Amino acid sequence: MEEPLIIPALGIMLPIIISLGAFVMIVYIRKYDNIERMAIIDKGLSPDLFKKERNSSSTLRASFLLIGAGLGLLIGYSLDRAFDMEEVAYFSMIFIFGGLGLGLAYLIEERKSANNK
């Protein structure tokens, strides 16, 4: 049996290259944000005009999505063990419970915005 041709150094270098690339990308994004802010200040405008408002709804959505996905994996595992459903149970339960989590986050955001008005 013939062994596949694998470059051993590539397996070691690939995560390092990806990590280095992500780091350089973050540094350049921060650098150009700073240059943009300095240009706004040079023109006499307040940089607070372009400041993004911090919104906690994305955190709420992400947390409910992950909780739903975790519950979906748990229910999918139990369905797989009980009825031998294989991968179908996992994927369907992740999507169903993830969607329920996003729906719950939406309802909470709507209730919160109605209370603020």
Domain coordinates in residue numbering, the chain: 8-49, 53-112
Contact yes or no for 105/69 (Cβ under 8 A): no
pLDDT of residue 6: 61
Average pLDDT over residues 86-112: 87
Question: Which residues, 6 or more positions from 54, have their beta carbon under 8 angstroms from its beta carbon?
Answer: none
- Distance (Å, rounded) from C-alpha 15 to C-alpha 40? 38
Contact yes or no for 76/96 (Cβ under 8 A): no
* Model pTM above 0.85: no
The better pLDDT of the pair 26, 83 is held by 26
> Measuring CA to CA, which residue among 87, 55, 58 is closest to residue 72?
87
pLDDT of residue 5: 56
Contact yes or no for 47/37 (Cβ under 8 A): yes
Average pLDDT over residues 24-40: 91
